[in-house]
Structure 1
Amino acid sequence: MRNKSSQKQINNKVNDGVIRIISGQFRGRKLPVKDVQGLRPTTDRIKETVFNWLMQDIHGANVLDCFAGSGGLGFEALSRFANSAVFLERDKLASAQLKANTETLKLTNAQINCTDSLVYLSQNTLQQQFDLVFVDPPFRQNLAKKCCDLLSENEWLSKNALIYVEVENELSPLQTPSNWLLLKEKVAGQVLCRLYQLQ
């Protein structure tokens, strides 16, 4: 008879999942994902749509993956030859898994920061700017608008940067900075996907 702690470890393993990289140099690779509260990996179907939108803009881009979670968007960008990616994830288990996955893929151009995305973006710094930013926060926590505002206010975006935002479909119209142009939009079930460009 197993004791409760070993049974709990087994249950956690069962609940852990995987993400699949759908194209590029790591196409078909599966990476483990921790089952942590609020983590909601972007589905393959949505990823395919998003990266079709971004097809001409990934190569050589410096990428920021806010609320990285599984890292599915950032790893997909690196697979498609983005120049670098910074992952922001405050959950320690999820962040440790991101680090392990960068080692599995032998990535030298990925930086994992175990930090709150809003705290990180509150810094007023021009140390690094990004060409492509993913904003895919946990649903129903009112994080997307705050994140978008900080990206703009603290000048994290390079000239003509692209910003992908994924929020819950029932969210009232998302107010983004006035100099962001909406390029693409798609609704997939409870998910609303939008691609903006800094003007």
Structure 2
Amino acid sequence: MNSVRIIGGDYRRRVLKFPDSEGLRPTPDRVRETLFNWLGQELDGWHCLDLFAGSGALGFEAASRGAARVVLVEQAPKVLAALRENHEMLQKPAAMTIIRADALQYLASTNAKFDLIFLDPPFKKGWIARLEPLLPGVLNEDAAIYVEAEQPIESLGDWRTVRHGRAGEVHYHLLRRDTGGKTA
């Protein structure tokens, strides 16, 4: 089994274990640290969606930092089992829901609205382009999108990249809704 640790909040230093699985790339500690510096260290009251949960590092990190609701969506049975074991190890945080589903089907069928979506799909499979039209239907007006991709992303619909970085071959981005050219 592989492992990754939670870096902040109530579950800091707890270790999440997960199996090898095609396309599974856990977000490294330093990238997660950067992301939560961008977002703020606490996510009190936020509703978060980890659409390609994989190791669960992003979703568990959000729950650790006070998110009111975190939905982890995963399709691979072995990976899903590890997510459930990690949820159990953390004594089943009530804010967390783990769902076995296809990402497209989940987005098309849910009525839930989120403040933050973690979007880290397998690379080179066209996932981001397929998901983009469905994102507005599940995002609150002032929601943020975090995306990991094999190339830089300028925008997804009305959401524009406001922060970005690179770790090896991975480009990571924080996107916020374009407010129609309002200036400060």
TM-score by length of 1: 0.84
Which residues in structure 2 correspond to 1:6-155 (within 5 Å)?
16-55=1-40, 58-106=43-91, 107-123=93-109, 125=110, 127-152=111-136, 155=137
Please tell me whether the aligned partners of residues 42 and 66 of structure 2 are also in contact (alpha carbons under 8 angstroms).
no
1:156 equivalent in alignment to 2:138: yes
Please identify runs of 4+ aligned residues in structure 1 that moved more than 3 A: none
Please tell me whether the aligned partners of residues 20 and 28 of structure 1 are also in contact (alpha carbons under 8 angstroms).
yes
Segments of 5+ residues of structure 2 without an aligned counterpart are 179-184
Segments of 5+ residues of structure 1 without an aligned counterpart are 1-15
1:198 equivalent in alignment to 2:177: yes
RMSD of Structure 2 on Structure 1 (CA)? 1.6
Please tell me whether the aligned partners of residues 131 and 158 of structure 1 are also in contact (alpha carbons under 8 angstroms).
yes
Please tell me whether the aligned partners of residues 50 and 119 of structure 2 are also in contact (alpha carbons under 8 angstroms).
yes
CA distance in 1, matches of 2:41, 2:21: 33
Which residues in structure 2 correspond to 1:149-188 (within 5 Å)?
149-152=133-136, 155-169=137-151, 173=153, 176-177=156-157, 179-188=158-167
Q: Deviations over 1:155-198 (max 9, x none)?
A: 100120010011013x6x56510x21321111221011111112
Please tell me whether the aligned partners of residues 135 and 147 of structure 1 are also in contact (alpha carbons under 8 angstroms).
no
Aligned with 2:134: secondary structure? Answer: helix
- Between the two proteins, what is the percent identity of the paired residues? 41
Aligned to 1:12: none
Q: Deviations over 1:99-153 (max 9, x none)?
A: 1111111211111111111121122x5x31000100000111111222232112x
The higher radius of gyration belongs to 1
CA distance in 1, matches of 2:8, 2:177: 26
TM-score by length of 2: 0.90
